Structure 1
Amino acid sequence: MSSEETRGRLTTRTIAMPADTNPSGDIFGGWVLSQMDMAAGICAGQRAQSRVVTVALDSMSFIRPVKVGDILGVYTDITSVGRTSMNVHVEAWARRGRIGTREKVTEATFKFVAIDDNGNPIAVPDKEDLPAYALEGYSI
């Protein structure tokens, strides 16, 4: 186990499969990014209690590779909430060989905007107006 601690709560977990590799056998960075975007979208959607769309992410560097058979755990933490938007810090961790050591592979901050059914921005509800599950594990 890595001595570094995760930030946020575990939002998704999946196994890196051979279909997720490039011709050299390495897991595509885009596959990891899509897993992070899905987890961040789950987190943001629960907080917004509505549809959300990704509008930006800060820079992202890969610290370690993800390999076939690794379990990718994605952790999310809401860092700020504005009127219609929120920032979600996301970390991706790989557990080697399903039961082996765990290493952080990358992290980034994703920005989401809450939208209505027509795609127009809407206000993110105040904390006190949310069900308990929407805030579970988050300080913001």
Structure 2
Amino acid sequence: MPTDLNPYGGVFGGWLMAQMALGAGSLASRVGKGKAVVVHATDFTFPGAMDVGDELSVYCDVTATGNTSLTIIAEGVGRERNGEGTTTVSRGTFKFVLLDEDDRPRSVRSEND
């Protein structure tokens, strides 16, 4: 949307990062079967550009599993509004920590694994 543009008319990188964090967080919660919070985000690149109205898809993969954490790489792919052309527009790495009911770190592996 127009409110998500930078001063040069491109989609703001911060908006892309937020969408990537939402996608990665969804995966972290599914894999971890519960609450997961971002504790670290790195390696952001923006190799392509999006126009207003383009569709963004975020693809995520777990690349590392720690005792209480998951590292997830996210990639944003923009599809042109009135066509099928796609462009990779963003990439980044997120680390999530899984939390228990008291918001304390908990093991990635459940007792039933």
Return the TM-score normalized by structure 2.
Answer: 0.90
More strand by share: 2
User: Which residue of 29, 33, 46 corresponds with 1:49?
Assistant: 33
Q: 1:125 corresponds to which residue?
A: 109
- Alignment length, in residue pairs? 112
User: Which residue of 79, 83, 89 corresponds with 2:73?
Assistant: 89
**Amino acid aligned to 2:35:** R
1:77 aligns with 2:35: no
> Which deviates more from structure 2 when the two are superposed, residues 22-31 or residues 78-87?
22-31
Provide the C-alpha distance between the structure 2 equivalents of 1:87 and 1:81, rounded to a whole number of angstroms. 6
CA RMSD of aligned residues (A): 1.5
Aligned partners of 1:69 and 1:98 also within 8 Å: no
1:24 aligns with 2:4: no
1:115 aligns with 2:60: no
Provide the C-alpha distance between the structure 2 equivalents of 1:62 and 1:87, rounded to a whole number of angstroms. 20
Aligned partners of 1:71 and 1:96 also within 8 Å: yes
1:49-101 Cα offsets, whole Å, 9 max, x none, are 11001011222121011210110000011111111001111000000124231
Q: 1:134 corresponds to which residue?
A: none
Aligned partners of 1:71 and 1:98 also within 8 Å: no
Which stretches in structure 2 are left out of the alignment for 5+ residues?
none
Provide the C-alpha distance between the structure 1 equivalents of 2:57 and 2:41, rounded to a whole number of angstroms. 19
